């Protein structure tokens, strides 16, 4: 079999205007960092390979750490997600890797480190990141339709984990110590129809809001009112996420997007498939 045909892209994220991280099916438990050459825009250089799971550790390690050998094959990475947070006078990239067994791993990279590629060699994925409170409904057994994304660039980034097809964990990232990370569940949402969530998109005009669709072509909006409570440090129970059913279409939804208008408004745009298998916008 042709290796180029059997190798497919699983996911990728841009870390800077010239650096990106990819996961492919040939090495599904590793992330590969590439840099675009300044002299030739159409050529790239491989910078570093990061193992996620097998050689990942609970905390940061030295660049000259001992090599480890294991016969256990780590589970595959199914998705990457990126958010940023302000730390002192710099911007820190937080790269999440979701694995097929539900484990979440995290790697930090300082935005300034892209000016010196040797600094990137010291970074490692740590984890798996523990979700608290430790309840059975925080982690499920079915990750075939899982999705992870981040909503805001606050001091405590908001992480949304969709798992078990129709259940949503809305969490904040806690970093009490340099070597410790936790995801604390603020709100847990069971979708009213219990149907598989298929498409998710973040509202670019409101970082507290996102939209999703399910396999029955229902469209929902979800707005996190409790984010403002965290920012203001109000000492009262968190407000629940505002879940609204917007509409339901008669055709299967193939793609969901937002179109921004000149007056700072926006439209939800959809691509659907008709009964004669034609696409319709």
Calculate the average pLDDT of the chain: 77
Strands 130-132 and 180-190: parallel
Q: What CA–CA distance (Å, rounded) separates 46 from 34? A: 5
> What's phi and psi for 120, nearest 5 deg?
-75, -20
Sequence-separated (6 or more) residues with CB below 8 Å from residue 208:
151, 152, 223, 224, 225, 227, 228
Q: What was the pLDDT predicted at 279?
A: 56
Q: What was the pLDDT predicted at 245?
A: 92
Q: How confident is the model at residue 71 (pLDDT cuts 50, 70, 90)?
A: very low
Q: How confident is the model at residue 127 (pLDDT cuts 50, 70, 90)?
A: confident
**pTM exceeds cut of 0.75:** yes
Q: What was the pLDDT predicted at 61?
A: 38
Q: What was the pLDDT predicted at 66?
A: 42
Q: What was the pLDDT predicted at 119?
A: 62
- Is the pLDDT reported for residue 4 higher than 50? no
Q: How confident is the model at residue 123 (pLDDT cuts 50, 70, 90)?
A: confident
Identify whether the C-beta of residue 187 lies closer than 8 Å to the C-beta of residue 241: yes
Across residues 217-244, what is the average pLDDT?
82
Higher per-residue confidence, 138 vs 18: 18
Query: What residues form DSSP beta bridges with 210?
Result: 202, 222
**Positive/negative CA dihedral, 53, 199, 189, 260:** positive
Strand locations in the chain, DSSP E? 9-16, 19-24, 30-36, 44-51, 77-87, 90-99, 104-110, 130-132, 147-150, 158-163, 167-177, 180-190, 197-202, 209-214, 218-223, 242-248, 253-260, 266-273, 279-280
Across residues 186-195, what is the average pLDDT?
84
Q: What was the pLDDT predicted at 145?
A: 62
Q: What is the pLDDT of residues 214-228, one digit of tens each?
A: 888 899 999 988 877
Q: What was the pLDDT predicted at 64?
A: 44
Across residues 162-188, what is the average pLDDT?
82
- Is the pLDDT reported for residue 253 higher than 50? yes
Q: How confident is the model at residue 144 (pLDDT cuts 50, 70, 90)?
A: low
Q: What was the pLDDT predicted at 194?
A: 79
């Amino acid at each position: 079999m042709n290796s180029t045909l059997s190798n497919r892209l699983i996911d990728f994220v841009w870390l800077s205007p010239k650096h990106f991280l990819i996961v492919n099916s040939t090495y599904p438990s590793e992330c590969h960092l590439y840099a675009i050459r300044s002299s030739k825009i159409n050529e790239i250089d491989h910078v570093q390979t990061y193992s996620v799971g097998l050689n990942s550790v609970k905390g940061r390690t030295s660049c000259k750490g001992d090599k480890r050998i294991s016969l256990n094959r780590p589970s595959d990475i199914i998705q990457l997600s990126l958010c940023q947070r302000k730390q002192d006078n710099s911007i820190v990239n937080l790269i999440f890797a979701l694995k097929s067994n539900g484990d979440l791993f995290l790697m930090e990279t300082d935005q300034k480190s892209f000016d010196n590629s040797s600094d990137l060699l010291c970074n490692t994925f740590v984890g798996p990141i523990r979700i608290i409170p430790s309840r059975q409904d925080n982690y499920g057994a079915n990750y075939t339709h899982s999705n992870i994304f981040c909503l805001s660039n606050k001091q405590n980034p908001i992480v949304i984990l969709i798992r078990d097809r129709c259940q949503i964990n809305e969490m904040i990232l806690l970093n009490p110590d340099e070597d410790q990370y936790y995801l604390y569940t603020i709100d847990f949402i069971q979708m009213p129809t219990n149907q598989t969530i298929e498409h998710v998109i973040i509202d670019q005009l409101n970082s507290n809001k996102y939209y999703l669709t399910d396999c029955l072509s229902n469209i929902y909006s979800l707005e996190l009112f409790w984010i403002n409570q965290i920012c203001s440090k109000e000492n009262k129970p968190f407000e629940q996420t505002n879940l609204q059913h917007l509409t339901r279409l008669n055709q299967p939804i193939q793609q969901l997007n937002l179109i921004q208008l000149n007056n700072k408004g926006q439209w939800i745009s959809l691509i659907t498939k008709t009964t004669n298998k034609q696409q319709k916008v």
